Structure 1
Amino acid sequence: MVEDDDPHGFFVPKALRGVKDVIHTSIPIHFHLNQFIDTLPFQRLRDIKQLGTSSYVWPSASHTRFEHCLGVAYLARCLASHLQTNQPSLKITNRDVGHVWDSIFMPKAIKGCEWQHERGSEMMFDYIVKNYKIPLSDKDVRFVKALIAGDPTQCDASEKPFLFDIIANKRNGLDVDKFDYIQRDSHMTGTSFSFEATRIVKSARVLDNQICYNIKDANQIYEICLRRFGLHKNIYNHKTARAIEYMIVDALLLAEPHMKIAERVYDPERFLYLNDYILNEIERSKDPELEASRQLIKRFRHRELYREVVWKAVEFTSKKAIQDYITSERIMEKAQKTVDEEGSEEPFDLTADDIIVDVTTMHYGMKERNPVDFTKFYSKKHPDKPMHAGPGDYSGLRPSIHAEILLRIYTKKPEYFGRVYDAYNAVLVDMSEEFSAGADTVPNTPTLASARTPDASSFETLPRTPGADAGDAGTGAEQKKKRAFGRSNSAMMSKNHFADVDRGYRHESPSASTRRMSTGGVAVAVVGDPSAIAVVTTFQPTADFSQLFEDGTEGAIIDAAPSRLKRGREDELQPPIEGIEVKRRKESAK
């Protein structure tokens, strides 16, 4: 246990060593911190990227959770030290500060695992205390676990409640974890957002058993919350990063029956080696059971990704309606219906599992609420009087709802890009009709036979703009239908014209296009039947295309330009030339 007079205590000026840091310049490491850093669980964080798949979009964002944890530890120490020095009446001890730091590491060690988060944190904490013989009493252990959970009720009532605002602030979301990652992630992605974390730390005072800040820093604190939203919107949830994340999850699911990855999280000894290198473990394996997983990993290594078909920013209040109504099953049902109506004999192997409906909530830190509304401030003239910031105390340029929903539709098979987009829009049409009619139920789907759609009146609508209907096209009945569910819901169910493509559009990644152009592409037609056109691309320039026709039917090369094959636009190919047989031919890139 760390006592106040411990010669190796947290506040001893002389550090055992220092760590260079790109954000905080230099981080001193003292004896108590060193006990935790030099353990296998903490060193494991060197092998886990802080931003996960974001490094596939921003290559420089390859920093790990190891340096983030050190940064959070440093800021926590600064904040606790500042409070102890400037408010001696709080009676903050070395024990308090030391255990505040203990609680930082544990959630980071298992971040990303949705399985009983608190249970996993406690498992790893107990592992360190036991295996590294950290001298902690039962009371101290309960205190650290309570800090991890952010719940003061899990420890003795004598513990100082304001300490829970430092690490995992459930009151307003403002804590040193955010102060570090907002700066660090911004810097490493080249989208720098600078603020003086030490200034915010030195602004802190404990009043009414909670951490308050100087009112002159209210705008800066709001900007920190705004930046958090920006990082989630533009960096963490980037369309490509999300696509790769889905591919990695699918690869792990394919490997799970053979590798039993999920079981490792319950065993601390095995969990220590569960990190980003799990993909390399799969790739190195020669086990036939992992072939499907290896092929999927190879696919995203080659940048042949799941593709975002369409996106839409939606009102936060519409989240449940989207989740209930826009499903992969319903989109698949519409796509299949279109194929059946066309009577096409072409193979159609799209399934509901090949369609991803991604619904992401992005906010300032407190869902739809403004975190500043839950933060108290003081002023220089009234340093001991905590108050909430009111109108005029800081900028009034802020939204009424501090959250929104980002809806994205992905396809795992880019060749059906256009069909998925067309089917999604068909679902929107049905959704609009259901809401405008005030129906209580939504149409049956294979998996949502009894799903219910919230009534349109349950949505919060925006005030109408005078004359907004004047320029709208459509009949009076259509105008009435639009007004029935308000402007915000009308936008939710409207078509995204920026993503508009034809039903036959087939997306091709730039890397795949480059490889194909360098090796050639060939369009082949059956001689004597100009309507029977088969479009073929190949990565083997010397392929014998006569093998395409098992019955020996002659064919002709009618177009070797890769650009003509990019979208599979067979209708634009010139008629075949009679009497020219298909032969070996290497196509030049154009």
Structure 2
Amino acid sequence: MSALDSQPTSLPTVEDDDPHGFFVPKALRDVKDVIHTSIPIHFHLNQFIDTLPFQRLRDIKQLGTSSYVWPSASHTRFEHCLGVAYLARCLASHLQTNQPSLKITNRDVGCVEIAGLCHDLGHGPWSHVWDGIFMPKAIKGCEWQHERGSEMMFDYLVKNYKIPISDKDVRFIKALIAGDPTQCDASEKPFLFDIIANKRNGLDVDKFDYIQRDSHMTGTSFSFEATRIVKSARVLDNQICYNIKDANQIYEICLRRFGLHKSIYNHKTARAIEYMIVDALLLAEPYMKIAERVFDPERFLYLNDYILNEIERSKAPELEASRQLIKRFRHRELYREVVWKAVEFTSKKAIQDSITSERIMEKAQKTFEGEGSEEPFDLTADDIIVDITTMHYGMKERNPVDFIKFYSKKHPDKPMHAGPGDYSGLRPSIHAEILLRIFTKKPEYFGRVHDAYNAVLVDMSEEFSAGADTVPNTPTLASARTPDASSFETLPKTPGGDAGDAGTGSGQKKKRAFGRSNSAMMSKNYFADVDRGYRHESPSASTRRMSTGGVAVAVVRDPSAVAVVTTFQPTADLSQLFEDGTEGAIIDATPLQRLKRGREDELQPPIEGIEVKRRKESAK
């Protein structure tokens, strides 16, 4: 009989650590959930749910601006936290039932469940947009993170709603949220810290929920049996281990995390809107003091995604610039991605040092001045965004599965790491990469920014060629078990590759001007290549020009050719421009429409003998 079959089924008593029976699981109601079907709400959990700090999460979108790309991705932190609490209880209860020797109490299970429920209390508007982009810019040197906000709001909730838990319980729950056992009493069971925020290998119930939920809500279904993985969990060596049969499924979860970051969380349009929202908030910051609200729980209670509506409703002249920027992205006239590049993880420092908005702007200005053009050049470094994002499987460049211990049916009490061949060998040697993207806030300079970026790449290639010894190489990861690239057979030379890159079989590496990790960084992306004079126009602007709700305009080059172009743009109209420079009458225009003025726009290219020109914005 195996150790799994011989476990006793009696549960430990809980009088010592729960004298009032607060953590005894007494279900009050069930909540229907799109991922977990039905979530039971126990008495102790209900004490936290029906409070303002937790109900605030209904107004914080889980995926920030992703709903502007995937309209169905409007789920919030509220339902995610319910899901995490449910899975946390499932896992802790499973260990309590199947391994009585661990002496897990109802208090332990209840604290883990509450930690799962409250782990995101501190998220600001649009989730990671707030602490990832806005706060560092709003308060220079501020290292505020949502985990700090969660701790503040949890203390506020317990105190103001008189939750009957001890100071020891409070410290334990906050330590579970942080994944740091040093923040609470040393008597707490260390393996419980692997459930909510696993710092050992990144595999926790938080990921189990958001990977399923985010995939479902964006229509990119990825289903896995979370209950199967939970039921295979077993504590060995004071850490949670899993059945080796689930190793491939666990690796797929890590891979899916990377896929979500690559295709969903960092989508170019969602990212552009993030930067626009941050700029709008920064413009409003001197007047509204938004960033300061994170340090006051009473003010933080009402800080949510609807802060934009607060700005839009205001008539304060100090917020006019912010309102105009919000109106711009409401009309889908967004910052534009000029170019993108997937770069090796080891090149991050080189990118940060070499590719800057100031350097790109200087190249663009130098090229413009060399053309001798009399047109104004109002592109600044602030109009260029160099976006550098790290995407990984959960543990930066390392394979998370290398840090998980497994057991087998034949050896249920013998934990060990999965070695080569124990699960799929089709995996990269480095489990992270850098996504480099250049955005412009002024689409009319799209082509010039792209041209300047390419010029920077040329300079970088020359710089790295001159200082080959300073180029970073891929570091050796002594703690990881992922097979080295040298353990595989040499692949055929790729088109345009360096013949000297092929392995020699002796472990020696040929010295070259720059490492493989930098070749991708300094190569052009020909898929994004455009002419220097290219000016990007949003699809919405084109649609408004061709819609039937605005002003009809015609400019006749050939008397035999007559065409009508219309616009739906609320702040602009179109006028006729004849070859002699005189403006003709506006067709079907009302007096109000004639008074409207649009922002300055370029002369559109001739289309079948017709030219269309927007009127310049009035001085007013």
- TM-score between both structures, scaled by the size of structure 2: 0.78
Deviation at 1:577, TM superposition (A): 16
Deviation at 1:487, TM superposition (A): 3.5
Larger displacement relative to structure 2 (5-14 or 328-337):
5-14
| Candidates 428, 443, 456, aligned match of 1:399 | 428
Asked if residue 70 in structure 1 is aligned to residue 91 in structure 2, the reply is no
Larger displacement relative to structure 2 (373-382 or 5-14):
5-14
Summarize the Cα distance change of 1:388–1:407 in structure 2 as closer, same or farther, 3 Å threshold: same
| Candidates 464, 468, 472, aligned match of 1:435 | 464
Summarize the Cα distance change of 1:278–1:564 in structure 2 as closer, same or farther, 3 Å threshold: closer
Q: Is the 8 A contact 1:530 1:576 kept in 2?
A: no
After superposing on structure 2, the runs of 4+ consecutive aligned residues of structure 1 that deviate more than 3 Å are 2-14, 99-114, 116-119, 439-483, 518-590
Q: Is the 8 A contact 2:599 2:615 kept in 1?
A: no
Specify the SS of the correspondent of 1:480.
Answer: coil
Larger displacement relative to structure 2 (385-394 or 487-496):
487-496
Specify the SS of the correspondent of 1:571.
Answer: coil
Deviation at 1:491, TM superposition (A): 2.1
Q: Distance in 1 between matches of 2:487 and 2:353?
A: 14
Q: Is the 8 A contact 2:27 2:40 kept in 1?
A: yes
Summarize the Cα distance change of 1:510–1:433 in structure 2 as closer, same or farther, 3 Å threshold: same
Q: Is the 8 A contact 1:519 1:589 kept in 2?
A: no
Q: Is the 8 A contact 1:228 1:364 kept in 2?
A: yes
Q: Distance in 1 between matches of 2:528 and 2:601?
A: 23
Larger displacement relative to structure 2 (540-549 or 229-238):
540-549
Q: Is the 8 A contact 1:313 1:405 kept in 2?
A: yes
Q: Is the 8 A contact 2:284 2:319 kept in 1?
A: yes
Q: Distance in 2 between matches of 1:351 and 1:445?
A: 35
List per-residue Cα deviations over 1:186-220 (Å, max 9, x = no partner).
00000000001010000000000000000000000
Specify the SS of the correspondent of 2:173.
Answer: helix
Summarize the Cα distance change of 1:512–1:446 in structure 2 as closer, same or farther, 3 Å threshold: farther
Q: Is the 8 A contact 1:161 1:209 kept in 2?
A: yes
Summarize the Cα distance change of 1:448–1:242 in structure 2 as closer, same or farther, 3 Å threshold: farther
List per-residue Cα deviations over 1:107-134 (Å, max 9, x = no partner).
9999999615444232111101110111
Larger displacement relative to structure 2 (515-524 or 345-354):
515-524
Q: Is the 8 A contact 1:203 1:213 kept in 2?
A: yes
Asked if residue 275 in structure 1 is aligned to residue 304 in structure 2, the reply is yes
Larger displacement relative to structure 2 (109-118 or 141-150):
109-118
Compute the RMSD of aligned alpha carbons: 8.6
List per-residue Cα deviations over 1:244-284 (Å, max 9, x = no partner).
00000000000001110011111101100000000111111
Q: Is the 8 A contact 1:166 1:175 kept in 2?
A: yes
Summarize the Cα distance change of 1:514–1:550 in structure 2 as closer, same or farther, 3 Å threshold: closer
Deviation at 1:157, TM superposition (A): 1.1
Summarize the Cα distance change of 1:161–1:107 in structure 2 as closer, same or farther, 3 Å threshold: farther
Q: Is the 8 A contact 1:41 1:124 kept in 2?
A: yes
Larger displacement relative to structure 2 (166-175 or 560-569):
560-569
Deviation at 1:53, TM superposition (A): 0.3
List per-residue Cα deviations over 1:533-578 (Å, max 9, x = no partner).
9999987899999999999989999999999999999999999999
Q: Is the 8 A contact 2:576 2:584 kept in 1?
A: no
Q: Structure 2: any 5+ residue segments left out of the alignment?
A: 1-13, 111-127
Q: Distance in 2 between matches of 1:200 and 1:432?
A: 48
Q: Distance in 1 between matches of 2:415 and 2:82?
A: 31
Larger displacement relative to structure 2 (76-85 or 98-107):
98-107
Q: Is the 8 A contact 2:61 2:305 kept in 1?
A: yes
Q: Is the 8 A contact 1:68 1:180 kept in 2?
A: yes
Deviation at 1:443, TM superposition (A): 19
Larger displacement relative to structure 2 (36-45 or 94-103):
94-103
Q: Is the 8 A contact 1:541 1:586 kept in 2?
A: no
List per-residue Cα deviations over 1:23-76 (Å, max 9, x = no partner).
000000011101111111000000111001001100001011000000000000
Larger displacement relative to structure 2 (298-307 or 115-124):
115-124
Larger displacement relative to structure 2 (347-356 or 532-541):
532-541
Asked if residue 10 in structure 1 is aligned to residue 19 in structure 2, the reply is no
Deviation at 1:457, TM superposition (A): 18
Q: Is the 8 A contact 2:91 2:230 kept in 1?
A: yes
Larger displacement relative to structure 2 (485-494 or 338-347):
485-494
Q: Structure 1: any 5+ residue segments left out of the alignment?
A: none
| Candidates 552, 555, 564, aligned match of 2:594 | 564
Larger displacement relative to structure 2 (485-494 or 183-192):
485-494
Larger displacement relative to structure 2 (136-145 or 397-406):
136-145
Summarize the Cα distance change of 1:449–1:131 in structure 2 as closer, same or farther, 3 Å threshold: closer
Deviation at 1:154, TM superposition (A): 1.5
Larger displacement relative to structure 2 (461-470 or 344-353):
461-470
| Candidates 285, 292, 317, aligned match of 2:346 | 317
Q: Distance in 2 between matches of 1:171 and 1:497?
A: 41
- TM-score between both structures, scaled by the size of structure 1: 0.82
List per-residue Cα deviations over 1:63-116 (Å, max 9, x = no partner).
110000000000000000000000001111111111999999999999999615
Summarize the Cα distance change of 1:530–1:587 in structure 2 as closer, same or farther, 3 Å threshold: farther
Specify the SS of the correspondent of 1:122.
Answer: helix
Q: Distance in 1 between matches of 2:241 and 2:158?
A: 33
Q: Is the 8 A contact 1:560 1:587 kept in 2?
A: no
Specify the SS of the correspondent of 1:27.
Answer: strand
- State the percentage of identical aligned residues: 95
Deviation at 1:465, TM superposition (A): 6.4
Larger displacement relative to structure 2 (19-28 or 543-552):
543-552
